[in-house]
Amino acid sequence: MMFNGYNEGLVDSIRHWLREDVGSGDITAAVTVPSGHQSKGIIHAKEDGIAAGMPVAALVFDVVDPSLSFKSLVKDGHVVSKGTVLAQVEGSTHSILTGERLALNLLQRLSGIATRTHQYVDALQGLPVRLVDTRKTTPGHRMLEKYAVRVGGGSNHRFGLYDAVMIKDNHIKGAGGIVPAVQRARAAIPHTMTIEVETENLEQVDEALSAGADIIMLDNMTPELMKEAVRRIKTRAPHVTVEASGNVSLQTIHGIAVSGVDVISVGRLTYSFDSLDISLDLNEKKEG
């Protein structure tokens, strides 16, 4: 996702999220802060990590009040330490307080995902393996969360059910086997679309090879079993991409990578991470 212009879908989402939080208005600010009050908000990291979502935070404040001035002091992907000032937002105190929580929520989540992804990328240093995410994302936030994965150094798997054929265990059951599933898919899709088959054992790997799968996923296999699966696949069809998935953690990913797989998909990048601790403090208060 690029932020060289407003993304209409994202703007609509931000408006929806603001309505959820603000409702009819920020009652606390309305009854405690004079209407003309002006402030500068300082957004800073309270722990080490990777910054992600700065353009999103800027867009939140712009949607709240276009007269606000937002200045990013770091770029997405920047390694930040505790105390680093990430951005400044200046203008109406009411407007800053209205956008504060949503902007911080998004910054914290996206930076947390980027930080977690970076940790996995570090664990793969020197190995010819691509780290990718999954569809295990927060509903309504997939575009942003997959963007954060890229910021952290990872890559994206398919975005949804529509952009690639991925035949999993339940599809195999419904189709009556791997071969008929692949055959039906191949007959129906354009030649530009790939077919991936999820396998759980060597017998299924052989079936996927015979069926002509473009990508074979090794799901929840031990590293030893993966090595044998990779050997079989690359011997018979060296062009086939091999993906490993299931129970991948920072502790296990290196052992999985050295099995020879091409890609490792990790759901934990977007469903099991710690949001980065980020705060906004007001200073230089004055009357407008």
Catalytic residues: 101, 136, 168, 198, 219
Q: How far apart are CA 42 and CA 45, in angstroms?
A: 10
Which DSSP helix (H) or strand (E) runs through 165? strand 165-167
For tokens 């999220």, the residue is: 17
Q: How far apart are CA 152 and CA 115, in angstroms?
A: 6
Which DSSP helix (H) or strand (E) runs through 110? helix 93-123
DSSP state of 155: B
Q: How far apart are CA 105 and CA 121, in angstroms?
A: 24
CA 262 to chain CA centroid, Å, is 20
SS3 assignment, position 131: strand
Closest Cα to residue 243, out of 265, 258, 269? Answer: 265
Would you say 275 and 108 are in contact if contact means Cβ atoms under 8 Å apart?
A: yes
Residue 81 CB coordination number (10 Å): 9
